[in-house]
């Protein structure tokens, strides 16, 4: 869970550990610089790549209630990378994300483990 409300201009460090499908875990370290004059919220997601054969990309889903219902947020087609920035989040809202894989036949997997992001109030 990511939460907090920055009160001064500064650089913050944090890490995210995600457990993906198949039990794989991945930890990423991040640094965020905050300029309060132009504070805009963004949720950055990253995950370990699928080890399944013939994966052509990923779909990212978001909900405001744990367990869904989810809505797909990558409207421009499949995401090829294993990271995605959601810049459409609103202050004071909890979001729940899940990712699916899509193979070369267009078959989509079940949702991987859900993660929660808490977007603070300004």
**Which CATH number goes with the domain that contains 74?**
2.60.40.10
Residue 4 lies in a domain: no
Residue 77 lies in a domain: yes
- pLDDT tens, position by position, 64-75: 999 999 999 999
- Is 102 a residue whose pLDDT tops 90? yes
Residue 33 lies in a domain: yes
pTM over 0.75: no
Residue 5 lies in a domain: no
pLDDT of residue 121: 83
Contacts 24+ apart (CB under 8 A), 4-8: 4/120, 5/120, 5/121, 5/122, 6/34, 6/36, 6/39, 6/120, 7/36, 8/34, 8/36
Query: How many other CB atoms sit within 10 Å of the CB of residue 61?
Result: 19
- pLDDT tens, position by position, 34-86: 665 555 788 999 999 999 889 999 999 999 999 999 999 999 999 999 999 99
Q: Tell how many helices (H) and how many strands (E) occur in the chain.
A: 0, 8
Q: Could you give the 3-state DSSP secondary structure of residue 20? A: coil
Residue 55 lies in a domain: yes
Residue 54 lies in a domain: yes
Say if residue 69 is preceded by a cis peptide, omega within 30 of 0. Answer: yes
Question: Per the structure, how many domains does the chain have?
Answer: 1
Range of the domain at 87: 10-118
Q: What residues form DSSP beta bridges with 11?
A: 33
Residue 2 lies in a domain: no
Residue 32 lies in a domain: yes
Average pLDDT of 20-26?
68
């Amino acid at each position: 869970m990511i939460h907090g409300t920055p009160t001064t201009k500064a650089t913050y460090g944090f890490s995210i550990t995600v457990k993906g499908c198949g039990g794989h875990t991945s930890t990423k370290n991040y640094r965020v610089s905050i300029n309060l004059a132009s504070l805009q919220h963004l949720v950055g997601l990253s995950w370990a790549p699928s080890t399944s054969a013939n994966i052509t990309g990923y779909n990212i889903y978001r909900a405001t209630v744990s367990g869904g219902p989810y809505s797909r947020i990558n409207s421009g087609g499949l995401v090829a990378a294993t990271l995605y920035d959601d810049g459409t989040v609103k202050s004071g809202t909890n979001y729940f994300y899940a990712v699916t894989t899509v193979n070369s036949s267009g078959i989509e997997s079940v949702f991987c483990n859900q993660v929660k992001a808490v977007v603070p109030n300004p």
